[in-house]
Chain A
Amino acid sequence: MPAFIDVNGGNKSAVDGNAKTDKASSKITKLSVNRSPNWNSAIRVAVFLACLLPFMTLVEAVATNSLGPDPAEHLMHVTGEWVMRFLVLVLLATPLARNGWPRLARYRRMLGLYVWFYATLHLLVFAQVYIGWSGEQLIEELAERPYVLVGFSAWLILVPLGITSAHTIRKKMGRYWRQLHKLTYAVAILGWVHLLWLSRSDVGEAVIYGTVFVILLSYRVKIAFGKKSRIRAVAS
């Protein structure tokens, strides 16, 4: 079910809008089911393993002690980078699904969970190497280093998103699920602020991610407004 963000979500007309999309998406689902189920699950496993590859590479590097004299810095950097990359991928999935790549929509959940996975690794490395699992030091970090607070907030938001990604919970939540998962954009923005704040002298990466997020977000906003004006046109 390819979801998209409706900024005016919650009111009657927006719900109608969603209903239309759901019908459209069930058509898409039917189309793609034409492939054999085995083939589909093979692709799914391949995507799953591909997303796991950065993690496996890090595990291998830690096991063989080949991360140089300061693995902490490298691990923080690489896990953080993958959080940002998966955020881009998960936010790309819906627009691409609506524009000729319908199959991508079904990987959105997996990609979203990988955002959470790499963010959790990022946090675990921080706990292990930077604060030595000390609660006192965590509080100090949150109080004195705003970028840590921002990053930690992003991770906290990912927790309910991750939990409610289970199919059964999602069904029970109905339209509230969609509203909750708009927070993915909040995670992206917080992640970006975290990255920008950490840039010491070169803002190249922050500029690239910022541009990508602005394009993706404005696409969603445009769609939401487009829908609104369509509805208005019908009403008049």
Chain B
Amino acid sequence: MSRRSKTWQSYPRIDSSEITPESVWLNRRNLMKAAAAGAGLTAVGEAVAQPKALKDLSFTEASDDTPFKATEDLTPYEAATTYNNFYEFGTDKSDPVRHADAMTTDPWEVKVGGLVNKPGTLHLEDVLSGFDLEERIYRFRCVEAWSMVVPWIGFPLSKLLERFEPKAEGKFIEFKTLYRRSEMRGTRSFTSIIDWPYREGLRMDEAMNPLTLMTVGLYGKTLPNQSGAPLRLIVPWKYGFKNIKSIVEINVTDRQPKTSWQDLAPQEYGFYANVNPEVSHPRWSQAWERRLPSSLFNPNRVRTQIFNGYAEQVAGLYKGMDLARFY
């Protein structure tokens, strides 16, 4: 807790030695119950969007002294799930937690296709029960120069891809987020210039890297909607926007897929989007980050590391590439 603001009070504190602090979940669960009870009393007969109940997950804990277990203090659950970018629900950081519960996540299907031998559909149940779940404590660096440390639960993307047997000519993976206007108020904005659905992509070797996680939970439970329920990508050495949420489609392709932010502002957001303090950005300094929670008098600024501190695991993927050009 050494670097964390001492004045931070509105989020429950977590001892960094505690990997899965049950007290936090219990508190939240009680809060939700209380909120539900209150809503029931005040709004009889009115349909009130309730935060869905999150399920406990069983998983293997991350081993010490591996890149799968960052040693920094964890960002509290409340902070990690109330401060989000999920533009389908609005552009403000507090929009996702307020509006994402409108999204139906059960039933959920993920179509896997493109250059694979066995195209098919994954159902939510297959995802939750069909893979061995592991905990991964990763640093998360947003391109907006803030960062968190989050205990995710998931399984390597490579395990998923293997089931569908990518063909040899498959060089890239394309992902798409759910696009359902009726449930996603951000996609109904007249002034939004994003071409929905949100799209992201990885090179095949990036997708097969053991760090790359198909994520179904955080803090020991299934993902809340604002965090990208029920299935999202986490690629810890890349900027946050690569970590596409609420995935409904995965395609193996032979050419580099178009990605939403690159499409919108190619001079700002590249396909690779590797965390790199050397590559300047026209909006935010990439040399520093605010490790959240931050405060006005203790901003908690830390220096950004190349590949977000995962250089040992991933630098080899980009050998010989000009990272300033392929940002």
| A→B interface (CB under 8 Å) | 62, 65-73, 75, 125, 128-132, 137, 140-141, 144-147, 198, 200-204, 207
Contacts and interface: CB of A to CB of B under 8 A. Distances in A.
A130 B284 CA distance: 9
Contacts of A147: 282-283
A202 B295 CA distance: 27
Contacts of A200: 91, 265, 283
Contact of A70 (B146, B280, B282): B146
Interface string B65-86: 0000000000110110011000
Most chain A beta-carbon contacts within 10 A, residue among B8, B78, B191, B280: B191
Contacts of A62: 296
Q: Closest 8 interchain pairs by CB? A: A204-B191, A69-B79, A69-B293, A69-B292, A129-B299, A69-B83, A202-B192, A144-B280
B285 interface: yes
Contact of A204 (B8, B189, B284): B189
Given A71-B296, A128-B299, A65 B264 contact: no
Nearest to A131: B285
A68 B82 contact: yes
18 contacts: A62-B296, A65-B295, A67-B296, A68-B94, A69-B76, A70-B83, A71-B295, A71-B296, A72-B299, A73-B146, A125-B296, A128-B299, A129-B301, A144-B280, A147-B282, A201-B194, A203-B193, A204-B189
B2 interface: no
Contact of B7 (A65, A125, A130): A65
A203 B191 CA distance: 6
B272 interface: no
B193 A201 contact: yes
Contacts of B264: 201
Given A145-B283, A201-B264, A202-B91, 14 more contacts: A65-B8, A67-B296, A68-B82, A70-B292, A70-B293, A128-B297, A131-B285, A132-B288, A144-B282, A147-B283, A200-B91, A201-B91, A202-B193, A203-B193
B179 interface: no
Contacts, number: 90
Interface of B: 7-11, 75-76, 78-79, 82-83, 87, 91, 93-94, 144, 146, 189-194, 264-265, 280, 282-285, 288, 290, 292-297, 299, 301
Contacts of B7: 65
Nearest to B299: A129
Nearest to B280: A144
Provide the main secondary structure of the chain B interface: loop
Provide the main secondary structure of the chain A interface: helix
Nearest to A75: B296
Contacts of A207: 191
A128 B285 contact: no
Most chain B beta-carbon contacts within 10 A, residue among A129, A141, A147: A129
Contacts of B82: 68-69
A69 B97 CA distance: 14
B290 A70 contact: yes
Nearest to A144: B280
A129 B285 contact: no
A75 to B, nearest CB: 7
Contacts of B10: 65-66, 68
Nearest to B142: A70
A27 B293 CA distance: 58
Contacts of B78: 69
B103 to A, nearest CB: 19
Most chain B beta-carbon contacts within 10 A, residue among A75, A140, A198, A201: A201
Contacts of B93: 68, 70, 73
Contacts of A66: 10
Contacts of A128: 296-297, 299
Contacts of B9: 65
A131 B284 CA distance: 11
Contact of B283 (A75, A140, A198): A198
Nearest to B75: A69
A137 B285 contact: yes
Nearest to B265: A200
A66 B265 CA distance: 34
Given A137-B285, A145-B283, A69 B11 contact: yes
A98 B298 CA distance: 48
